Chain A
Amino acid sequence: MNGYLNKIIPFSSVDGPGNRTAIFLQGCNFDCIYCHNPETINHCINCSFCVKACPVDALTINRENRQIVFNSNCCIECDACTKTCHRNSTPKYKVATADEIIKEIENYRPFIQGITVSGGECTLQAEFLIELFTKAKEIGLTCFIDTNGSTDLSQQEKLMNLCDGVMLDVKVWDKERHKKYIKADNEMVLKNLDYLVDCGKLYEVRTVVVPELFNNEETVTNVAHKIKNSTARYKLIKYRHLGVRENNLNLTTPTDHDMNHLERLAHEVGCFNTIIV
């Protein structure tokens, strides 16, 4: 079956253990106010606004089916297309089969210990992940998932059997703020947190620290408490402006002092496997 792909990064040092090929899928059911890759949120509807914006004619319209055609050889990665897009999407997404992706990964295989699928929200394409992971396992690669936790992983037995570890985003503990700034409920996220701790597949929890919007102390303390007896690492990520949409609030990057304070809170409840990035 086909997967909707945003991009593949051959070598990644930040998506799980060792060197991994990171596969970003297109489409997300959250809409975080500080999203760092908003062009991954929606699927392209071929509205073609971006075609005019491209300064090097890497985008054209197929007259027959009105689909946008992307020529990666011309692309200079200026991001004019995604900046122009009104729908938080990209004309550069690809539709690819698991076999096609595996064929590309073969190039990187000597140098990686596995793959990590991210997004967007990769678990929205769970059937595709099952096929991709099955084939990746056949060539000896480990398979990790980076998820926003919105789908019930406890009901995805087949996928979880193939998956070696999960990186789970816990953006904010407070339900109302989650709804307000993430545009979705966090009940399933917290259920997944418990499930992943119990089944031993939680590799890492990630919290982006945004000083103005969230009670980060509450989030960090609660998450740290949940994972303190597991092998999971808690990654505290500084909010940065890079890639975020221009129409949001003037959010500030937390200071080292803020981050160290949050890390100390995690340590205080007994979670010592922490990292600040």
Chain B
Amino acid sequence: MTGVEQIVKDKTLTFEQKVVALARYAENSVEVLNISEDTQALREAGIICDLFEGNVPYRPRYILPNYEKFMKEGCKFLQLDPPTNIWEATNYLLIFYKHVPSITTMPVYIGNIDYLLEPFIEDEEEAKLAIRLFFTQLDRTITDSFCHANLGPKATRAAKIILEVERELENAIPNLTLKYNEETPDDLAIEAIKTALATAKPSFANHNMFTEDLGEYGIASCYNGLHAGGGAHTLVRMRLSKLAETATSIDDFFNHKLPHAMTCMADYINERIRYIVEESTFFETNFLVTEGFISKDRFTSMFGLVGLAECVNTLLKAEKLEDKFGHSQIADDLGVRIMETMEAFIHQFESKHCKVTNERLLLHAQVGIGDDINTSPGARIPIGEEPELWKHLKQTARFHKYFPSGTGDIFPFELNAVNNPEFILNIIQGAFKEGMRYFSLYSSDADVIRITGYLVKRSEIAKLDQGIATLQDTVVLGQGQVRNGKVYERKVR
């Protein structure tokens, strides 16, 4: 059977998923990028991984359109005037989303949705109905949980309604983030926590930290902080856990293996960017660019990493828990040394199309993929080895500053926390004071859970386990992480 036939005959794929798979198959049938032998060797060894972006980059991986402009001015290409009421606002946004490309073919950022809808809220009952329909349509038609909406940091009636509606719907899509700082009133934060306990979202973003690093930003996909009106051309990641296995010593790692792999990966990222910007015609022809919803100058690219914990443990040959990353000062300090080294490399490596970040790439703590075995997301402590919560948070906070384009940690809480949501708020406030960038939570017995950064229903994974096709393409990714990443075994707080 050919690859095409395999896709066509796969019983677990929906029609839509087959179309996407066939497009990927076609894209991967040609080679257009200039990839060095060394880079190719590292790709084949699983050390450099482009996350199946495809061989012919023809659109940026993550796009964060300026939806405020759309709401004010409408869109010529889509023949839409500015909306004048809540029904037009929600309807026009849904139309617009349909035309926002991404690596998944579906939009990964749908705006600071509360601020976008707030001007159109007159009658709260009517607005709630419109918002309920809007979110239901998102869940059923954007069938990929990397779709991400933002809220806050200031309170609005729209944010309150959205949190109520999401709590009632218990959908996996869209992902949600509350941008949180001292301007966010406690009652909004408490509502957010109640919703998160019911349906694993929103996560909390340290708004001051992101603003300081990026200026005007949005959170897209899993937890990716990127420039609003721009985005990221590409994300390639380094599997540090695998790289460490090739090093003969800590010195060999720092002196040879890591610098070599970083240079290869950064060159590869630049090559992918070159193709998108200089050859693909995206930035010359797409209406998002020509009408100014995004600008080429607001794009950057992401230098990802996974498996810092396993990398450190391998380099130190740490077997006992007390010697491992997350538990030992020596191990954590080695983790910091690796991050300092990678940050120094990023700061000196030029990437000419990344104008918004001074022609530099951004570090990113990639969340991992279903095939990863013994490789924890980004700089996270491995599941099953989590220390006490206060120690965990302080340890994690040491690493968040290195990742302006996103990192995060996830904490399931017992359901009785719903009786005291302020308990979780105090923990988040403390975590942000300590320097954490992004905090996710869910309730240990909710159906919707956060896998690594995206959301999936346990009940949908169970369906897929039985060989039944599921609406959302991210369910299969969640299934892989549950099998290989011990997602159900996270320590409950």
Residue positions of A touching B, CB distance < 8 A: 10-14, 17-19, 107-108, 110-113, 275, 277
Contacts and interface: CB of A to CB of B under 8 A. Distances in A.
A111 B426 contact: yes
B448 interface: no
Given A10-B389, A11-B389, A110-B434, A19 B426 contact: yes
A11 B420 contact: no
A113 B430 CA distance: 10
Given A18-B425, A112-B426, A13 B420 contact: yes
B390 A10 contact: yes
B419 interface: yes
Nearest to A112: B426
Contacts of B433: 110
Contacts of B389: 10-11, 111
B417 A111 contact: no
Contacts of B420: 13-14, 17-18
30 contacts: A10-B388, A10-B390, A11-B389, A11-B390, A11-B423, A11-B427, A11-B493, A12-B423, A13-B423, A14-B419, A14-B420, A17-B422, A19-B422, A19-B423, A19-B426, A19-B430, A107-B390, A108-B390, A110-B430, A110-B431, A110-B434, A111-B389, A111-B393, A111-B426, A111-B429, A112-B426, A112-B430, A275-B419, A277-B416, A277-B419
Contacts of A11: 389-390, 423, 427, 493
Nearest to A10: B390
A14 B390 contact: no
B390 A18 contact: no
Contacts of A108: 390
Contact of B431 (A12, A111, A275): A111
B388 A18 contact: no
Contacts of A18: 420, 422-423, 425-426
Contacts of A110: 429-431, 433-434
B367 to A, nearest CB: 25
Contacts of B393: 111
A11 B394 CA distance: 14
Nearest to A113: B426
A255 B493 CA distance: 26
Interface string B379-412: 0000000001110010000000000000000000
Contacts, number: 53
Contacts of B427: 11, 19, 111
A111 B430 CA distance: 4
Contacts of A19: 422-424, 426-427, 430
Given A13-B419, A13-B423, 15 more contacts: A11-B389, A12-B423, A13-B417, A13-B424, A14-B420, A19-B422, A19-B423, A19-B427, A19-B430, A110-B430, A111-B389, A111-B390, A111-B393, A112-B426, A113-B422
A276 to B, nearest CB: 9
A233 B427 CA distance: 23
B437 to A, nearest CB: 15
A12 B493 CA distance: 10
B326 to A, nearest CB: 16
A172 to B, nearest CB: 24
A197 B493 CA distance: 34
B416 to A, nearest CB: 7
Nearest to A111: B430
A13 B416 contact: yes
Nearest to B397: A110
A108 B393 CA distance: 10
Contacts of B425: 18
A218 B422 CA distance: 32
A88 to B, nearest CB: 27
A54 to B, nearest CB: 21
A275 B419 CA distance: 8
B389, B390, B393, most chain A CB atoms within 10 A: B390
A108 B391 CA distance: 9
A10, A17, A107, A110, most chain B CB atoms within 10 A: A110
A112 B433 CA distance: 12
A74 to B, nearest CB: 13
B125 to A, nearest CB: 26
B295 to A, nearest CB: 39
Interface string B419-463: 110111111011101100000000000000000000000000000
Interface string B455-493: 000000000000000000000000000000000000001
Q: List 7 tightest A-B contacts by C-beta distance, closest first.
A: A111-B430, A110-B430, A19-B426, A13-B423, A18-B422, A18-B426, A19-B423
Interface string B48-75: 0000000000000000000000000000
A11 B389 CA distance: 8
Contacts of A14: 416, 419-420
A37 to B, nearest CB: 18
A14 B423 CA distance: 9
Contacts of A10: 388-390
A19 B429 CA distance: 11
B81 to A, nearest CB: 48
Nearest to B391: A107
A195 B430 CA distance: 35
A12, A13, A108, A277, most chain B CB atoms within 10 A: A13
Contacts of B416: 13-14, 277
Nearest to B430: A111
A115 to B, nearest CB: 13
A277 B415 CA distance: 11
B417, B423, B424, most chain A CB atoms within 10 A: B423
A19 B411 CA distance: 15
A109 to B, nearest CB: 8
Contacts of B419: 13-14, 275, 277
B388, B420, B422, most chain A CB atoms within 10 A: B420
Nearest to B389: A11
Contacts of B430: 19, 110-112
B137 to A, nearest CB: 36
A227 to B, nearest CB: 18
A159 to B, nearest CB: 25
A17, A18, A19, A108, most chain B CB atoms within 10 A: A19
Interface in B203-220: none
Contacts of A17: 420, 422
